[in-house]
Amino acid sequence: MKLGLLAFAAAFYGARATYIDPSVLDACPGYDATNVSTSGADLTANLVLRGPCGVFGDDVKTLRLEVSYETSTRIHLKITDPSSTRYEVPDSVFARPTPDATPPQNASIEFTYTSSPFSFSILRASTHESLFSTGAHPIIFAPQYLRVKTDLPAHANVYGLGEHTDTFRLPTLNFTRTLWSRDAYGVPNGTNLYGNHPVYFDHRTSGTHGVFFLNSNGMDIKLDEPEGSNTTTLEYNVVGGVIDMYFLAGSMTDPNEVARQYADLAGKPAEVPYWSLGLHQCRFGYESFVDVADVIVNYSKANIPLETMWTDIDYMYNRRVFTLDADYFPTSRMREIVDYLHAHDQQYVMMVDPAVAYLPNEADSAYARGSEKGVWLRYPNGSYYEGLVWPGVTVWPDWFNPDASPFWTAEFASFFNPSTGIDIDGAWIDMNEPSSFCVFPCTDPAQQAIEQNLPPQRTSSPPDPDTPIFGGTASATASSSKATTASASSASAVSSVSVSASSVPASSISTSATSASASSASVAASSAPRASASAISPREKKIGAAKREQQPISHDGEDMNTPPYQINNAAGVLSSKTADTDATHYNGLIEYDTHNLYGTMMSAATREAMLARRPGLRTLVITRSTFAGAGARVGKWLGDNFSTWWHYRASIAGLLGMTTVYQVPMVGSDICGYAENTTENLCARWAMLGAFSPFMRNHNADTSISQEFYRWPTVAQAARNALNIRYRLLDYLYTALHQASVDGTPVASPLWFAYPSDANTFGIDLQYLFGPSVLVSPVTEDDATSVSFYLPNDRFYDFATLAPVEGTGAQVTLENVNFTSIPLHIKGGSVLPLRVSGAMTTKALRATDFELVVAPGRNGRATGKLYADDGVSLTQNKTTQVDFAFANNVLSVKGSFGYPLGVNVRRVRVLGAKRPLGAELSIAGKGKNLKVTWDKTPQVLNVDVGIVFGQDFQIKLS
């Protein structure tokens, strides 16, 4: 969210990537393998430098190679410098899986090597097909440069290496994918964005496999098709760390297997609460509690089911985290809003940024409490590192500090206290690349705060604190909200003035006992030079020095901003618009190595803080910056997009990347676009497309027109239509998300996952499968009312009419697709457990009966699943798991019904029925004839069932 108006307020450092002719690097002498030793599943060797390369620094003369067959489908290869300690991604951030030491002869992939010059290959054991081979490309290993390069088939089908807004299948001609987290306003195509997932899937008609490079340093990954060759090359160029690679065998027939194998490695996705699958509404620009309440009411009046209301940083006093502005968002009125939502079975989510306002003269502030524990990121000299974010001069939690997560949990427990604060149901974390507005070199953040007018001042007058909301009168406590400060809670306006506080109305400042002395904070208080800016006790300075002395990794003599090889960072030098690369953590690690981990570490701390608030209950945390494995804790939104048709289209590839490759299934884009002004047609189309993302949220910027779905008649109707379908499918989606948490099966996937031998599907990223059985083929051209899409050679059923559609492996064109509908098809061979209708809340939906839609494939068979639980508990004592199978005109429903669904199976609908049939229900051997109607044109049998959904049964058609 939010670079917004400040995006280009300061000088911008353009990308300055290093280019060198690949033939120069390929001419390097490389290494020889010596002292090769094998023992069971493990191989070790020394790699001895054959001669100097020196293109990007002096090569390390002797390396250590370790190869392990960790499972029958995974090989782990690691190359390190045995003479010095180099940075590796800590286990605390990315936990390595426990290997089972598979005998190599039992593995489905194998490691082979050539000793001189050393090269290695990963082969598919059954066919000896090369999956990854360094071949004639020597490994280069220097202090600030690593290079590994492989040859792939010509025009390779490579997916992943995100986060990005490029096509889902990556370009293979002169293409560079850069990994270095940045605040990527506008999520531009062809650049590094917020997150880093150095994993790719390589799909071929002979199978699908994966490669994961476990390294959090900045890197360029280059794909190219060298002139005159019949290959695609893939080359890693990394500015530090070690070579730590995992090779996943995948499968020769089922691409889902490689996703599951990556989930075994990176961590299976976290379960989410059932309510989180409803519609979410947010805006950066709700100016007061009145705006927030009005939006809730207006959704209800428009009969659009709003599940969760969100509030951006607007609620904060001077944009300071863990504060409320007492004039615009007084505690009593905010609590009234939350109480109203909860009384109506709705939820509330608020924004929390990592940057904490630097307030050295305030005794009662997040800064003071964090400083007491010394939890902030530091300069190399031990003082607190300072940057510039929305509240002005800021510090950042150091997530490697063992006191940082308890501090964060305590702030959440206080500010979001259900009894005295704001009782949120989920958390939204942003700006955690970490983003800084300070223009490099950031030597005087206080002066830059003045120049950039940070924090920005409000441009509207505060509402009357007694303003009635929800059609009622002000609460008993609201009339005194200007004087109320929740003295026992941190859920009040902060009690000091920030950099530009002289222009803040006096009534915005807390009148608590601490404010009289604290309110003297001023520009001068935060304008000291960089080296001595932070007020730190002698004890803290001593601790900082001790940690530096214990630092295990030396970067002496290395350039941390412009290393010999400079990656294609769109922000410029590595420290631009973020924490400096020499910023130092509690354990001695520096941002140069750990930068890409910051968002995921904040995610882990925030999830723990939320779970501590409500022990035993699932939570929803949505983050912007991610690293490999983030989905095991949080969900993700796709960042600050624009209200353009291009971004609408790009959101599909972004969804596929997160759900299919990176194992972050709880994902979605800002529907209708974040920045710039949407249009009625675009917002209507996006409302429908967004309904088929696991995470569905309408969100936009304060500089854009309002775009809540009820603003336009067409959009409102499109939203109602799409949400009705989504809510009917919600248990189907919930089942898919549960399956992902069990084994990593993707919640949404490209067509080639279902049709891996159909080369026509390999490049499609404007259609996708939502769950295993629903094909989404949205209109994607600007303002169009027709769409051409691909239907594989298979049977499908139109979701709206339920009529059969025979795919022939060709494009199909639909005309007259109005702006309140979206083309959907059910894949033949599926049984869908649907609610018979949507509802205004997910709680009401769970009290709605089911219908089972049987969509037989060409072989007359169909299968499906349903998983159900209470929707909120971390540990489920009772669950229901049902398998559906249809064959020979018999539908069998079998399962374990531990969790009572409390509803009926109202009907069964069998598709593709060419003639009327009778139906007999059988439960525990007892038969009963059922009422059946036949719709001739769509060829649908409607079977009235009307039994409690809590037992095995069969329906036989005859």
Q: Which residues are catalytic?
A: 430, 433, 640
- Cβ neighbors of 133 (< 8 A, separation 6 or more) are 119, 120, 121, 122, 150, 151
Straight-line distance from the first to the last Cα atom of the chain, in angstroms, rounded to the nearest whole number? 58
What is the enclosing helix (H) or strand (E) of 620? strand 620-623
Around Cβ 345, how many Cβ atoms within 10 Å?
A: 15
Radius of gyration of the chain (CA): 29
744 within 8 A of 269, measured Cβ to Cβ: yes
The three-point CA angle 14-17-18 to 5° equals 150
Q: How far apart are CA 385 and CA 536, in angstroms?
A: 11
140 within 8 A of 55, measured Cβ to Cβ: yes
Name the region of 548 (left: φ>0; alpha: ψ -120 to 50; beta: rest): alpha
Residue whose token pair is 């509330």: 348
From residue 848, how far is each of 834, 838, 839 by CA, in Å? Answer: 10, 8, 8
Q: How far apart are CA 222 and CA 96, in angstroms?
A: 27
Three-class SS of 111-171 = EEEECCCCEEEEEECCCCCEEEECCCCCCEEECCEEEEEEEEECCCEEEEEECCCCCCECC
Q: Which two tokens stand for residue 429?
A: 């974390």
Q: Could you tell me which residues are beta bridge partners of residue 798?
A: 825
Most distant CA pair in the chain, distance: 87
Residue whose token pair is 């900082």: 544
73 within 8 A of 211, measured Cβ to Cβ: no
Q: How far apart are CA 830 and CA 794, in angstroms?
A: 12
- The amino acid at 27: A
Strand order through the sheet with 774-776: 748-749, 768-770, 774-776, 824-827, 795-798, 804-806
Query: What is the number of alpha carbons within 13 Å of residue 335 lying toward its C-beta?
Result: 21
226 within 8 A of 233, measured Cβ to Cβ: yes
639 within 8 A of 193, measured Cβ to Cβ: yes
Q: Choose among 181, 214, 240: nearest CA to 97.
A: 214
952 within 8 A of 893, measured Cβ to Cβ: yes
- Cβ neighbors of 862 (< 8 A, separation 6 or more) are 828, 829, 830, 831, 854, 855, 856, 884, 885, 886, 887
Preceding peptide of 163 cis, ω within 30°: yes
The three-point CA angle 7-10-11 to 5° equals 115
Three-class SS of 292-321 = HHHHHHHHHHCCCCEEEEEECHHHCHHHCC
Q: Which two tokens stand for residue 678?
A: 């949407």
Q: How far apart are CA 681 and CA 819, in angstroms?
A: 7
Q: Could you tell me which residues are beta bridge partners of residue 885?
A: 863, 892
Q: Choose among 683, 386, 337, 746: nearest CA to 532.
A: 386
737 within 8 A of 694, measured Cβ to Cβ: yes
